[in-house]
Amino acid sequence: CGIFGVVGVSDAANFVALGLHALQHRGQEAGGIVTHDAEAGFNSARRFGYVRDNFTSQSVMETLPGPLAIGHVRYSTAGSKGQTAIRDVQPFFGEFSMGGAAIAHNGNITNANALRRELIERGSIFQSSSDSECIIHLMARSMGRSIPDRMEEALRKVEGAFSVVAMTRTKLIGVRDPLGVRPLVLGKLGDGWVLSSETCALDIIGAEFIREIEAGEMVVINDEGVQSHFPFRRAKSRFCIFEHVYFSRPDSILGGRSVYESRRQIGVELAKEAPVDADLVCPVPDSGTPAAIGFSQESGIPFALGITRNQYMGRTFIEPTEQIRNMGVRLKLNVNRGLIRGKRVILVDDSVVRGTTSRKIKEMILDAGAAEVHFRIASPPTAWPCFYGVDTPQREKLLAATMSEEEMRAHLEVDSLKFISLDGLYRAVGQANGRDADSPQYCDACFSGDYPVRPVDMLEQGFEM
Ligand code: 5GP
Ligand code: SF4
Ligand code: MG
């Protein structure tokens, strides 16, 4: 998901709408905005679909007045399969004795089922099926005397990955979980302040990037400025390495590093680790493009756009059901036949998950008359599900969970298939000595099975680590 908040500028909701539009790649199912205004109080709008179709009309935006606003774009992960209901669309809102508060959450709470059971037993009435709603109920039960205090107490009971943007009547609040799994950055906009999942959204509203919110940090922002503290037990950060590979936009900066440059460097590493004699390097658009550029630069094999993507389709990744996903590939991608005929083609893609995309693309490339097809993948084999906010299917459906690299190659019926090594990936994102096996610098659980937070709900449901 994507989260965004603004305080201290007039008509904050307009900036939030633009920010969410720049974060649309993080979630396309639905979006919501909550605002506060001294006269109008709290207001909200929650809608299915794209930000541009919901939060641009005057009739909607004039219902969202005030200098303080937060927003959320949603895609559903693990716990919440199937169709999103409007009641699951964030931000969530709660009334407390000291006033109202709204929160928007990116990530996944790994003990949400356990917390929900306990809260329901003690009288909480849940409105949604979302794991994020636990935070509101935990806040309601807290004896803290201010909303930030209650939020702090609530979040100490929550396990897993969370970046949160929240607001009271006067304050904008930002939090990252102790491992800082999901991103969150701070920006300055005139006299006001901005919180955003990614820096690309600061750029489009003309805000200045100030710094990242740190792992385990909580910032409370009001007219007087930004107050920072660290309410959780300090831990070494484990940022999601897959944000560098796929999830974030290539024009964003993560941990001081250009996402585009990391992806290009992945291609360079891949060309060194798994060279192959061929005529063309083609990206599977758009997610494979920077890595394909790096592969071409390092290998000297010409880069070509052998596949064209229809820009008006969503990301297949985001489509909630497998049936739609299966249809999606052909609706979305088409081969440039004249270019491919008779050629030995290297296809560069970001990841192989179920393998359905790769299989269809290979068929399309062979139909177009390619002489050979070689897959080069910009991440290690995805052998484990993510429980921290990225939608991966159950372990059984992951190709790499049951097959070796050679078995996957045979299954996909391609001439060769190579994945970047985990160390190669770490080098590409700026860790010159690769992965520190004793204390990894990132979360890489979907590749390594090394889960930095025990997924207690999933273990209870029979998941085996
Ligand atoms: P597959 O068809 O192998 O399941 O999907 C792999 C491709 O689709 C990748 O190129 C990636 O861009 C995208 N994708 C589709 N679904 C997912 C998913 O659930 N997780 C990840 N990591 N990538 C996905
Ligand atoms: Fe990111 Fe993978 Fe960790 Fe999920 S399991 S947070 S996708 S690195
Ligand atoms: Mg892709």
Tell me the ipTM for this assembly.
Answer: 0.92
Pairing label, strands 416-419, 208-212: unpaired
SS3 211: strand
Q: Which amino acid is at 405?
A: E
240 annotated as belonging to a binding site for a ligand: yes
For residues 462 and 67, give the distance between their C-alpha atoms in angstroms, rounded to a whole number. 47
Region at 49 (left for phi over 0; alpha for psi -120 to 50; beta for the rest): left
- What was the pLDDT predicted at 332? 81
Write out the residues surrounding ion ligand 3, Cβ under 5 A.
Answer: 287
Asked whether this chain's domains 2-237 and 261-431 adopt the same fold, the reply is: no
258 annotated as belonging to a binding site for a ligand: no
- What was the pLDDT predicted at 285? 93
How far is the centre of ligand 1, averaged over its atoms, from the C-alpha of 172 (Å)?
35
Q: Which of 100, 36, 94 is nearest to 69 (CA)?
A: 36
Strand partners, 37: 41
- What was the pLDDT predicted at 325? 60
Nearest protein Cα to ligand 2, atom 6: 240
Task: Kindly list the domain boundaries of the chain, sorted by start residue.
Answer: 2-237, 261-431
How far is the centre of ligand 1, averaged over its atoms, from the C-alpha of 386 (Å)?
13
User: Cβ distance 340 to 370 under 8 Å?
Assistant: yes
Token pair, residue 312, equals: 């008006």
Question: Is any atom of ligand 1 closer than 6 Å to the C-beta of 355?
Answer: yes
- In the block, tokens 């309601």 appear at 140
For residues 60 and 55, give the distance between their C-alpha atoms in angstroms, rounded to a whole number. 6
Burial environment of residue 89 by CB neighbours within 10 A (0 to 12, 13 to 18, 19 or more): buried
Question: Is any atom of ligand 1 closer than 6 Å to the C-beta of 243?
Answer: no
- Architecture (CATH level 2) of domain 261-431: 3-Layer(aba) Sandwich (3.40)
349 annotated as belonging to a binding site for a ligand: yes
For residues 86 and 340, give the distance between their C-alpha atoms in angstroms, rounded to a whole number. 45
Non-local CB neighbours of 64 within 8 Å, separated by 6+ positions: 13, 33, 35, 43, 44, 45
Question: Is any atom of ligand 1 closer than 6 Å to the C-beta of 326?
Answer: no
Q: Which amino acid is at 178?
A: P
Mutate to test the pocket of ligand 2, among 181, 240, 422, 426 (most ligand atoms within 8 A of CB): 240
Question: Is any atom of ligand 2 closer than 6 Å to the C-beta of 303?
Answer: no
Cβ-based neighbour number of residue 290 at 10 Å = 24
Token pair, residue 452, equals: 């930095």
How far is the centre of ligand 2, averaged over its atoms, from the C-alpha of 263 (Å)?
16
Per CATH, the homologous superfamily of domain 2-237 is Aminohydrolase, N-terminal nucleophile (Ntn) domain (3.60.20.10)
- In the block, tokens 């290998």 appear at 299
Mutate to test the pocket of ligand 1, among 25, 316, 318 (most ligand atoms within 8 A of CB): 316
Q: Which ligand is nearest to the CA of 385?
A: 2
Return the half-sphere exposure (C-beta side, CA atoms, 13 A cut-off) of residue 261.
Answer: 10
Which residues in the chain land under pLDDT 70?
77-83, 313-328
What are the backbone dihedrals phi and psi of residue 442, each rounded to the nearest 5 degrees, phi first?
A: -130, 165
User: Cβ distance 47 to 20 under 8 Å?
Assistant: no
DSSP secondary structure string for all residues of 288-351: THHHHHHHHHHH-PPB---EEE-TTS--GGG-SSHHHHHHHHHHHEEE-HHHHTT-EEEEEES-
For residues 208 and 194, give the distance between their C-alpha atoms in angstroms, rounded to a whole number. 9
- In the block, tokens 């599977």 appear at 284
Q: Does residue 91 have a cis peptide bond before it, meaning omega lies within 30 degrees of 0? A: yes
- Give whole-number Cα distances, 304 to 8, 261, 296, 341, 363, in Å: 47, 19, 9, 13, 18
Entry pTM: 0.95
Token pair, residue 156, equals: 């100490």
What is the set of active-site residues?
Answer: 1
**Ligand 1 atom having least distance to the Cα of 446:** 22
- Give whole-number Cα distances, 41 to 45, 93, 218, in Å: 14, 13, 25
Rounded to the nearest 10 degrees, how much is the dihedral formed by the CA atoms of 406, 409, 415, 420? -80
